Structure 1
Amino acid sequence: MTDLPGPVPLPLVGNALQLRRDRLSFLTRCARVHGDAVALRIGSSPVVLLSHPDAVREMLTVRQHDVTKSPVLQRARAVLGDGLLTSEGEAHLHDRRLLQGAFSRRRVARYGEEMLDVAAATADRWVPGRPLDLHAETVRSTLTVAGRTLFGTSLDDDVALVSAAVRDLLSAYPVLMLPMGGALVRLPPTRWRVRRGTRALDALTSRLVAERAHRRGGDDLLTLLLEDADPRHARDQIVTMLLAGHETTANALAFAGHLLAAYPQVQDRVAAEVQDVTGTGRGPSVDDLERLPLTRAVLAEALRLFPPSWAIGRQARVATQLGRVEIPPGTVLLASQWVVHRDPRWWQDPRSFAPDRFLGPGGERPRFAYFPFGGGTRQCIGEQFAWTEGILTLATILARWRLRPVPDRPLTLDPLLTLRPRDGAWVVPEPRA
């Protein structure tokens, strides 16, 4: 690995400051300048950026038992505990089998009715011509859906609490990426923010558990957890599902809406597709999912251009090999959806918004040229949930509203644990005739 090309590291900190300054541009530049396997250093820790789909496939599938979660996620246990996102080995397999039932196709189809109700309620609140932050709207709607479907309760009054807690917890991410991040995150002011966010989520999960203790029956995810796990482990899974169950989908929907506002011709095509499928007098239904290919393609293209999971990290626990690269134990491996999804070798005109690229066959494109939900045994358990919610929400909104951009509110990106809009995703809704 010592002969891999890469940017010159600085003494002591390595490439940490370059990465911290502009994570997305730095990783893109590394891949374009130095190739598909790039040597980096974060402090004294060796890092290899992998940007070829075949190497990504090997890391996530073929060699998945040679690696563990990245140091950043290992440190995140202080916040998330041993939930599905951070657990390893037999514990992870047990938890995944337990939770899989809550995300079966039959169950997700049943969730669809709640998703449609929430999307319709969201669209009802909008005022014609009044600018709105689409990200704030999708955070509210996806959190409401997660509450009703996964936890059997209403979280409508907890949106501000959860949003503030997420901001507090995500503020630790840039610190966790630094050398000695595990120690630095315990220092003020990061420690105060993390403690505040953790306490807020702990109070919410305690309330959810107490409410369920007074209700008998139920077959939602919360019931599964309380029947199987001790209270502390149930807390860890609830926090993980609460965050993962709404944050990434909210971001994807906000980015999709931003792109549609910027490309009105595509937006009108999607609205026409929804109209053709639903006719007049009714909104979209769960049965319409397979008849909305362009709507799905818009969401897929938004996930390509702005993947909420913008990078996946692993750490080699034993000596292994990825392609022709020898990986020593302890090496951190990084595969970035942001980089691979915008690689001109796999995507024609990769920076353009072109949903039609997902309507036909993928051609010669490698499987892991597109991996918004990861891969292998750790592939996102809620993928079908996210597709269903995303398609139904977009269809419901575009059946009623035309989205216009807000010129003085440009989109800025914040690549933390997830990729999210830093200052919102602003649009102006106008009634669709």
Structure 2
Amino acid sequence: MRRPLPVVGDLLAFQSDRLRFVAAMQREHGDVARFRLGPFPVWQLAHPDLVRQVLVTDAAGFRKGMVLQRARVVLGDGLLTAEGDVHRQHRDLVQPAFHSRRITGYASVMTGRATAVASSWAPREPLDVHAATVRMTLETAGTTLLGTSVDVGVVEGALADLLSAYKLAFLPFSDKLQALPVGPLRRLQRGRRRLHGLVDGVVADRVASGRDGGDLLSALVLGSGDGRLSSPELRDEATTLLLAGHETTANTLAFALHLLAVHPSVQASVYDEVSGVGELAPSDLDRLPLCRAVVSETLRLYPPSWMMGRQALVPHQVGEQVIEPGDLVVLPQWVVHHDERWWPQPFTFDPARWLAGSGDRPRWAFFPFGAGLRRCIGEGFAWTEAVLGLATILRHWRLRPVPGRPLRLDPLITLRPRGGLWLIPEPR
């Protein structure tokens, strides 16, 4: 039985098993549940209609949640964390880089990196596929978004330092604690220095050269008039794009490969589809419906963004209850994506459900990339990389699980495998 504690409220129960906690809140209290994390009253809204209200129809009444507010210490005013006019201005500047024509041009880099990473695998040797997909997507993001190769170790180390401070976001006075050089806070500061050092060097080089490399950073650096960003703004956007541009896709690909390894009949069907396409090209995406269905089902079962947060700016009516200004709101994809009202056999891996149409399922029963004006700007980029990456890897390798190495989940800012995700690759 849930027993909130003084000062910390439900924070200890939440931190001990976040996925179980949010699922239990919906099971015990329904689509509208209330609890407390440290000093913050929290409302959990777990119905597609409520998701639409917060993210689409009434979005102006909310701002980013506490985790992303705290992430500004690293990401500054990048697209993930910026609010209001700053967010709108930066989104307008970044949007052209994610036009479908641009993404088509990036596709050859995506398949090239997937081929290079998969070619380095040792046959029949246990492999941490999450580490491999991180390397693949990070190298792709460096080339397509920043126009340079990046030090994978530096970025992943900095990201680990950032994630280590996630648990502190809901502590009382957490905004004051960030400056203290102790424990995970020291790691957070170290990660920020490492990441900013890497990105500042890339930005300075591009500004000095004035070179247009056909990547996103070039478009931002060479912007004219009111569209030109300052050096700190360039760093914020480059840092955000580097982290967000690889992390969620790497997680999705790793989870998809795991699901196929434990469902060999589906894996065989995917291989048959990929084999019938020939050399992969951007125009082949429409010829890979099963690959896309596998990615969709992976995003449903293991959504990288497992819970979205907002903070109310104005009173918001939910049924007979009122969310007050300052209250936090969480929209848990983990719960909505596993709700049997919308998803028959919700914990079963069934890509076929995506090949038969959505039926009567509500529009926002599936929102892995968010919704509304703050919907992920890189969604098209992520879909393309995930589908082409999956097809490229499955063309070369048959995957099977490693006995005694089950999948464990780590729901931090994103949903990641805990301790790696281990599979055995066998050559085709």
TM-score range, shorter chain: over 0.9
Q: 70, 77, 84: which one pairs with 1:75? A: 70
Deviations 1:238-278 (A, max 9, x none): 11101000011000100101111111010000000111222
Which residue of structure 2 lines up, in the alignment, with residue 211 of structure 1?
205
Q: Tell me, what secondary structure is at the counterpart of 1:154? A: coil
1:130 matched to 2:125: yes
Q: Tell me, what secondary structure is at the counterpart of 1:183? A: helix
1:311·1:338 contact (CA, 8 Å) conserved in 2?
Answer: yes
1:199 matched to 2:199: no
1:347 matched to 2:343: yes
1:55·1:323 contact (CA, 8 Å) conserved in 2?
Answer: no
Residues 145 and 10 (structure 1 numbering): CA distance in 2 closer, same or farther, change over 3 Å? Answer: same
Deviations 1:277-320 (A, max 9, x none): 22xxxx32211101100000001111111111011011110112
Scaled by the length of structure 1, what TM-score is found? Answer: 0.95
Which residue of structure 1 lines up, in the alignment, with residue 31 of structure 2?
36
Q: 60, 66, 87: which one pairs with 1:92? A: 87
1:312·1:336 contact (CA, 8 Å) conserved in 2?
Answer: yes
CA distance in 1, matches of 2:145, 2:35: 40
Which residue of structure 2 lines up, in the alignment, with residue 249 of structure 1?
249
Which residue of structure 2 lines up, in the alignment, with residue 49 of structure 1?
44
1:299 matched to 2:292: no
Residues 332 and 162 (structure 1 numbering): CA distance in 2 closer, same or farther, change over 3 Å? Answer: same
**Aligned-partner residue type, residue 211 of structure 1:** D
Q: How many angstroms does 1:180 deviate by?
A: 2.6
Which residue of structure 1 lines up, in the alignment, with residue 8 of structure 2?
13
**Aligned-partner residue type, residue 262 of structure 1:** V
CA distance in 1, matches of 2:306, 2:13: 17
CA distance in 2, matches of 1:51, 1:225: 38
Structure 1 segment 159-198 matched on structure 2, within 5 A = 159-187=152-180, 188-198=182-192
CA distance in 1, matches of 2:335, 2:254: 20
Unaligned runs of 5+ in 2: 223-227
Q: Between Structure 1 and Structure 2, how many residues are aligned?
A: 421
CA distance in 1, matches of 2:275, 2:219: 39
Worse-superposed segment, 72-81 or 95-104? 72-81
1:63 matched to 2:58: yes
CA distance in 2, matches of 1:256, 1:217: 35
**Aligned-partner residue type, residue 366 of structure 2:** Y
**Aligned-partner residue type, residue 167 of structure 2:** P
Which residue of structure 2 lines up, in the alignment, with residue 317 of structure 1?
313
CA distance in 1, matches of 2:250, 2:67: 23
Q: 413, 418, 426: which one pairs with 2:414? A: 418
Q: Tell me, what secondary structure is at the counterpart of 2:79? A: coil
Which residue of structure 2 lines up, in the alignment, with residue 239 of structure 1?
239
Which residue of structure 1 lines up, in the alignment, with residue 394 of structure 2?
398
Q: 110, 114, 122: which one pairs with 1:115? A: 110
How high is the sequence identity, in percent, across the aligned residues? 53
Q: How many angstroms does 1:323 deviate by?
A: 4.7
Q: Tell me, what secondary structure is at the counterpart of 2:113? A: helix
Deviations 1:367-403 (A, max 9, x none): 1110000001000000000000000010011111100
Q: How many angstroms does 1:324 deviate by?
A: 4.6
2:408·2:419 contact (CA, 8 Å) conserved in 1?
Answer: yes
**Aligned-partner residue type, residue 125 of structure 2:** R
**Aligned-partner residue type, residue 407 of structure 1:** P
CA distance in 1, matches of 2:34, 2:2: 8
CA distance in 2, matches of 1:44, 1:165: 29
**Aligned-partner residue type, residue 171 of structure 1:** S
Which residue of structure 2 lines up, in the alignment, with residue 226 of structure 1?
221
TM-align CA RMSD:
1.3
Q: How many angstroms does 1:89 deviate by?
A: 0.6
Q: How many angstroms does 1:7 deviate by?
A: 4.6
CA distance in 2, matches of 1:103, 1:181: 35
Q: 121, 137, 140: which one pairs with 1:145? A: 140
**Aligned-partner residue type, residue 198 of structure 1:** R
Which residue of structure 2 lines up, in the alignment, with residue 366 of structure 1?
362
Q: Tell me, what secondary structure is at the counterpart of 1:246? A: helix
CA distance in 2, matches of 1:190, 1:144: 27
Q: Tell me, what secondary structure is at the counterpart of 1:194? A: helix
CA distance in 1, matches of 2:244, 2:334: 19
Runs of 4+ displaced beyond 3 Å: 184-187, 322-325
Q: Tell me, what secondary structure is at the counterpart of 2:136? A: helix
Q: How many angstroms does 1:330 deviate by?
A: 1.1
Q: Tell me, what secondary structure is at the counterpart of 2:277? A: helix
Scaled by the length of structure 2, what TM-score is found? Answer: 0.96
Which residue of structure 2 lines up, in the alignment, with residue 268 of structure 1?
268
Q: How many angstroms does 1:37 deviate by?
A: 0.2
Q: How many angstroms does 1:214 deviate by?
A: 2.6
CA distance in 2, matches of 1:205, 1:131: 33
Deviations 1:68-110 (A, max 9, x none): 1112211221121111011001110111110001100000011
CA distance in 1, matches of 2:183, 2:296: 38
CA distance in 2, matches of 1:136, 1:99: 28
Which residue of structure 1 lines up, in the alignment, with residue 225 of structure 2?
none
Deviations 1:116-175 (A, max 9, x none): 1111111211111011100000000001100111111122xx011111110001111011
